[in-house]
């Protein structure tokens, strides 16, 4: 059932067994899991079924560190959440991403990737993907097809799968509407989890509907699933009156804010300008379909062995080719339109050599226009850094909740990792004979390439750790110091790797749903 | 002309510089883009790249460059394949020169630097 919370009488108290806050990838995944269970579930979603400016404005915040993205643009605040505009690229994190890595402080999840695999497999279905398969060979990329130096040992080929992309709010709307014991409250904003004076368990959730509606939810178990930034904001706004937030006894909530760092790391002058670029360029790799309609994207990455040995952040590389134009050929094409015939004839005559070269290479190499340059678009892992953080600012939103201030920082370790990785790549490019590479990443610790930016994958701010002194949630994603509040989403990632996060978010949400089902059984 | 320059024959210097051209390559002219402008340094202005290599190899004058290159080329220094092998070996052994971001093998960086210095002397 769907209920518009704006129509609830002021002061309503909703009683339920499980209360999920947030109807995005994580929240909807969990709600679906409870459809068949015997207990009552309330899902509180801030937005309606479509975008509304007043609700979207509730996402406003400021950037007080390195410039970060517009918080009202990267996140969407209506049913389905940010999956209303995600691209659907799905990848599994590397084994190493879960490990405690030598030389990488604060690294290590409470469990290895192997533990998460059963839920990764189930997440495939939720994200409307094909079978669980992330080895290049499973997609027809045999080792022989992978050009050096991307056949190891330092750089390897990886694949990600493309979801349609699943718009969670549309695809799963009907099944949730029909679920007998599940109610989705639209336009329902969580404002504050209230605990006793000493903190501890959540006693109730105060909620609001724009413009002034107020109601309360009382549940046995609460799940916070509002995305990494908002999960932080709600925890910092909750807990005992006058305190520093819920789950924040050790001043960890909001710290370790991480995103994937994107920049052009270098340019390759290929030794062979007629190189088979299809294999190198993930964009066109989706022509290799395993079985219709499943698609994948291939890319290159720093190998786990090299990352571990050299203590490096992960790096993913996608290549873009800069293809030349044959002036004579362009003129020839225009001649067919009979426009400026004399001018184009002149160009054609002057570039007969170019046209001949085009024809010859087309015949002998299958492609006539040479690749002049290959641009290396890099995605770097951000190393865990407690100083990169989200706090509450002074301004408040239309519901009276303090807005966030994002203090995004990159450390010297991040920069040195990027320098090392790009140098290594350039050397490998030279060693393998692929060409020569100019790296665009300077040695200066603070000076990133001018196009560098943090992407929209927000992570890390309620990190998972068995020890309450080192993490906000435990290995079950339960907020330390409470028995009935859980967190779902990428805020629990202790380290981020370079994989797109949503498949892991969905896998963790499925795992958490299983845990809660067991608890309530 | 210095002693070292005199010692190498015109033929062997020619071979060394031809070695530079082995990987610089010659291409038909195509329309320019920003990335290509960057690459033009490598492709069409080996001397500009050479100037970067001179900077990246401080203390190596024409004498030293020539001597080092000759040493790496066996007895007559004329073998293209010896140069190519040295370049491969440089990469394998990590003898890399950073010329304004370009990661070049020591041998090719020396070749480019020598080309630039020779043109200044000519
Ligand atoms: C342009 C873009 C492209 C992307 N492409 C990819 C991709 O290709 N692959 C990938 O893996 N990831 C991608 N992502 C990231 C992906 O969208 C997120 O990882 C994913 O949506 C996170 O799921 P979530 O449920 O944690 O949060 P969200 O999907 O953001 O859902 C949070 C929900 O909580 C609700 N909410 C917020 N505050 C409250 C409140 N106080 N009370 C009640 N409800 C609240 C919101 O309205 C929203 O519905 C992309 C993101 C963007 C911006």
Q: Please list every residue in chain A whose beta carbon sits closer than 8 Å to the beta carbon of residue B40.
A: none
pLDDT tens digit sequence for A245-266: 999 999 999 999 999 999 999 9
Q: Which residue has the higher pLDDT, B51 or A357?
A: B51
Q: What is the pLDDT of residues B81-102, one digit of tens each?
A: 788 888 889 999 999 999 999 9
Cβ of residue A449 closer than 8 Å to a chain B Cβ: no
Helical spans, DSSP H, in A316-411 = 327-335, 341-350, 352-365
Interface touch A354/B29, C-beta < 8 Å: yes
DSSP calls for A443-495: S-TT---TT-EE-S--B-TT-B-SSTTT-SB-TTSBBTT-SSEEE-SGGG-SS
Measure the CA–CA gap between A233 and A21, rounded to whole angstroms: 13
Give the residue whose CA is nearest to atom 48 of ligand 1: A81
| pLDDT given at position A486 | 98
Give the chain B residue nearest A442 (alpha carbons): B101
Look over chain A and give the mean of its residue pLDDT values, rounded to a whole number: 92
Whether residue A439 and residue B103 make contact (CB cut-off 8 A), yes or no, is yes
pLDDT > 70? residue A290:
no
> Tokens 């959540």 label which residue?
A202
Of A48-62, A119-133, A262-276, B72-86, the least confident: B72-86
User: Average pLDDT over chain B, rounded to whole?
Assistant: 68
d(CA A295, CA A284): 10
Residues 6+ apart with CB under 8 A from A78: A45, A46, A47, A48, A49, A50, A51, A52, A55, A56, A84, A169
Helix axes B46-56, B34-43, angle to 10 degrees: 80
Task: Residue A235: name the closest of A413, A72, A105, A392 by CA.
Answer: A392
Residue of B nearest to A268 (CA): B39
Residue with tokens 């309330």: A42
Provide the chain A residues 266-305 that lie in CB contact (below 8 A) with chain B. 266-267, 269, 271, 273
Ligand 1 atom closest to Cα of residue A234:
41
What confidence score (pLDDT) does residue B18 get? 42
Cα–Cα distance, B53 to A506 (Å, whole number): 51
Task: Give the phi and the psi of residue A79 in degrees, each rounded to 5.
Answer: -55, 125
Return the half-sphere exposure (C-beta side, CA atoms, 13 A cut-off) of residue B2.
12
Residues of B in contact with A267 (CB under 8 A): 35, 38-39
What is the C-alpha separation between A48 and B86, in angstroms, rounded?
Answer: 67
Q: pLDDT-based confidence at B76, cuts 50/70/90? A: low
Residue A217 forms beta bridges with which residues?
A: A14, A205
Whole-angstrom Cα distance, residue B25 to residue A457? 42
CA distances to A169, A192, A263, B98 from A435, in Å: 47, 57, 21, 15
- What is the SS3 assignment for A79? coil
How close does chain B come to A345, measured CA to CA in Å?
18
CA distance B121 to chain A (A): 28
Q: Measure the CA angle with vertex A318, ends A312 and A322; round to 5°.
A: 135
Q: Which residues line ligand 1 (CB under 6 A)?
A: A 21-27, 44-47, 74-75, 77-78, 81-83, 85-90, 189-190, 225-227, 230, 234, 456-457, 489-490, 500-502, 505
B26 three-class SS = coil
What does the DSSP assignment read for A164-219? S---HHHHTHHHHHH-TTEEEEET-EEEEEEEETTEEEEEEEEEEETTTEEEEEEE
Q: Which has the minimum average pLDDT: A166-180, A223-237, A253-267, A324-338?
A: A324-338
Please state the φ and ψ torsions of residue B75, each to the nearest 5 degrees.
-75, -50
Taking the centre of ligand 1 as the mean of its atom positions, its distance from the CA of residue A78, in whole angstroms, is 10
Give the angle subtended at the CA of B68 by the CAs of B62 and B71, to the nearest 5°: 135
Higher pLDDT, A138 or A488: A488
The contacts of residue A501 (CB under 8 Å, 6+ apart) are A457, A459, A490, A493
Rounded to an integer, what distance in angstroms lies between the CA atom of residue B105 and that of residue A32? 58
Nearest CA distance, B41 vs chain A (angstrom): 11
- pLDDT for B33 beyond 60: no
Q: How far is the CA of A255 from the centre of ligand 1 (A)?
A: 19
Q: Give the span between the Cα atoms of A22 and A464, in whole angstroms.
A: 20
Give the pLDDT band (50/70/90) at residue B74: low
Backbone dihedral region of A356: left (phi > 0), alpha (psi from -120 to 50 degrees) or beta? Answer: alpha
Q: Is the pLDDT of residue A419 over 80?
A: yes
CB atoms B28 and A357 under 8 Å = yes
CB contact under 8 A, A372 and B105: no
Residues near A292 by beta carbon (within 8 Å), at least 6 away in sequence: none
- Given an 8 Å threshold on Cβ–Cβ distance, is A271 in contact with B23? yes
DSSP secondary structure of A290-305: SSTT-EEEEEEEE-HH
Grouping H, G, I as helix, E, B as strand and the rest as coil, residue A21 is strand
CA distance A246 to A257: 18
Ligand 1 atom closest to the Cα of residue A228 is: 26
3-state secondary structure (DSSP) of residue A147: coil
Looking at the predicted structure, is the pLDDT value of residue B118 above 60? yes
Residue A132 CA, distance from chain mean position: 19
Greater model confidence, B95 or B42: B95
How close is the nearest chain B Cα to the Cα of A265, in Å?
Answer: 10
Residue that wins the pLDDT comparison between B31 and A12:
A12
| Cα four-point dihedral sign A139, A145, A150, A151 | positive
CA of A502 to the centre of ligand 1 (A): 9
pLDDT(A267) > 70: yes
**Is the pLDDT at A491 greater than 50, yes or no?**
yes
A439 touches chain B (CB under 8 A): yes
Q: Report the helix count and the strand count for chain A, using DSSP H and E.
A: 16, 19
Residues forming a β-bridge with A210: none
Phi, psi of A10, deg, nearest 5:
-55, 140
User: Which of A354, A372, A427 is facing B91, going by the closest CB pair?
Assistant: A427
Residue A258 DSSP symbol: B
**Best of A76, A129, A227 for a ligand 1 pocket test (most atoms within 8 Å of beta carbon):** A227
What is the domain extent for residue B58?
3-121
Mutation test of ligand 1: which of A45, A72, A86, A188 has the most ligand atoms closer than 8 Å to its C-beta?
A86
Query: To probe the interface with A, which of B21, B31, B33, B39 has the most A CB atoms within 10 Å?
Result: B39
Domain limits, chain A: 1-59+75-128+163-248+459-521, 325-369
**Are B79 and B19 contacting, i.e. CB atoms less than 8 angstroms apart?**
no
pTM (two decimals): 0.89
Higher pLDDT, A372 or B63: B63
Question: A357 — contact with chain B (CB < 8 Å)?
Answer: yes
By a Cβ cutoff of 8 Å, what residues of chain B touch chain A? 23, 25, 27-31, 33, 35-36, 38-39, 42-43, 88, 91-92, 94, 96, 98, 100-105
CATH code for A1-59+75-128+163-248+459-521?
A: 3.50.50.60
How many Å lie between the centroid of ligand 1 and the Cα of residue A492?
Answer: 14
For residue B28, pLDDT beyond 50: no
Domain count, chain B: 1
pLDDT for the residue A218: 98
Nearest to A97 by CA among A265, A390, A301: A301
Separation of A233 CA from ligand 1 center, angstroms?
Answer: 15
The pLDDT value given to residue A30: 98
Taking only the tens place, the pLDDT of each residue in A69-93 is 999 999 999 999 999 999 999 999 9
Q: Identify whether the C-beta of residue A108 lies closer than 8 Å to the C-beta of residue A494.
A: yes
CA separation for the pair A461, B38 (Å, rounded):
40
State the smallest CA–CA distance between residue A354 and chain B in angstroms. Answer: 6
> Nearest-CA neighbor of A124 among A488, A504, A490, A496?
A504
Q: What is the percentage of chain A residues whose pLDDT exceeds 90? A: 75
What mean pLDDT do residues A266-282 have? 75
Residue A285 predicted with pLDDT over 50 = no
Confidence of residue A278 (pLDDT cuts 50, 70, 90): low
B33 contacts A427? CB cut-off 8 A: no
């Amino acid at each position: 059932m769907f209920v518009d919370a704006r129509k609830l009488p002021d002061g309503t108290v909703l009683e339920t067994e499980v209360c999920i806050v947030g109807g995005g990838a994580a929240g909807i995944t969990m709600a679906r899991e409870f459809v068949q269970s015997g207990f009552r579930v309330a899902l509180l979603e801030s937005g309606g079924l479509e975008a509304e400016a007043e609700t979207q404005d509730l996402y406003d915040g400021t950037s007080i560190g390195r410039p970060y993205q517009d918080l009202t643009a990267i996140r969407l605040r209506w049913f389905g959440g940010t999956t209303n505009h995600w691209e659907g690229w799905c990848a599994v994190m590397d084994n190493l991403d879960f490990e405690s890595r030598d030389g990488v402080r604060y690294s290590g999840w409470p469990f290895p990737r192997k533990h998460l695999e059963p839920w990764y497999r189930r997440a495939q279905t939720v994200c409307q993907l094909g079978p669980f398969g992330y080895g290049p060979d499973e997609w027809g990329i045999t080792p022989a097809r992978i050009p050096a130096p991307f056949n190891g040992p330092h750089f390897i080929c990886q694949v990600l799968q493309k979801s349609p992309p699943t718009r969670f709010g549309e695809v799963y709307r009907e099944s949730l509407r029909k679920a007998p014991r599940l109610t989705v409250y639209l336009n329902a904003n969580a404002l504050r989890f209230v605990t006793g004076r000493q903190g501890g368990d959540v006693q109730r959730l105060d909620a609001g509907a724009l413009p002034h509606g107020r109601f309360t939810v009382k549940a046995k178990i609460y799940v916070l699933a509002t995305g990494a930034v908002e999960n932080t904001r709600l925890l910092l706004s909750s807990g005992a009156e006058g305190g520093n937030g819920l789950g924040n006894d050790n001043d960890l909530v909001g710290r370790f804010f991480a995103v994937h760092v994107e920049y052009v790391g270098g340019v390759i002058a290929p030794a062979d300008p007629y190189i088979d670029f299809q294999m190198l360029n993930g964009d066109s790799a989706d022509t290799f379909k395993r079985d219709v309609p499943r698609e994948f994207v291939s890319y290159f990455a720093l190998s786990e062995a090299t990352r571990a040995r050299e203590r490096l952040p992960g790096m993913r590389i996608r290549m873009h080719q800069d293809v030349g134009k044959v002036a004579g050929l362009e003129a020839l094409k225009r001649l067919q339109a009979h426009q400026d015939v004399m001018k184009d004839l002149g160009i054609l005559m002057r570039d007969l050599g170019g046209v001949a070269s085009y024809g010859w290479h087309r015949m002998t190499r299958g492609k006539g226009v040479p690749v002049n340059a290959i641009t290396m678009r890099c995605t770097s892992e951000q190393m865990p850094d407690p100083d990169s953080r989200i706090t509450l600012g002074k301004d408040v939103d239309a519901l009276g909740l303090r807005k966030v201030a994002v203090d995004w920082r990159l450390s010297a370790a991040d920069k040195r990792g990027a320098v090392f990785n790009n140098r290594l790549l350039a050397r490998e490019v030279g060693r393998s004979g692929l060409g020569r590479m100019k790296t665009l990443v300077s040695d200066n610790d603070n000076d990133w390439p001018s196009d560098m930016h943090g992407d929209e994958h927000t992570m890390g701010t309620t990190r998972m750790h068995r020890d309450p002194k080192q993490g906000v949630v435990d290995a079950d994603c339960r907020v330390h110091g409470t028995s009935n509040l859980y967190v779902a989403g990428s805020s629990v990632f202790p380290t981020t790797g370079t994989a797109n996060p949503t498949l892991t978010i969905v896998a963790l949400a499925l795992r958490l749903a299983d845990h809660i089902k067991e608890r309530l059984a | 002309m210095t002693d070292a320059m005199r010692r190498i024959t015109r033929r062997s210097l020619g071979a060394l510089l031809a070695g530079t051209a082995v990987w610089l390559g010659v291409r038909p002219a195509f329309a320019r883009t920003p990335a290509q402008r960057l690459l033009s340094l490598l492709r069409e202005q080996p001397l500009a790249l050479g100037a970067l290599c001179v900077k990246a190899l401080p203390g190596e004058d024409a004498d030293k460059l020539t001597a080092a290159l000759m040493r790496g080329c066996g007895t007559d220094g004329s073998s293209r394949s010896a140069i190519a092998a040295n370049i491969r070996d440089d990469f394998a052994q990590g003898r890399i020169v950073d010329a304004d971001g370009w990661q070049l093998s020591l041998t090719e960086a020396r070749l480019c630097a020598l080309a630039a210095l020779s043109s200044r002397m000519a």
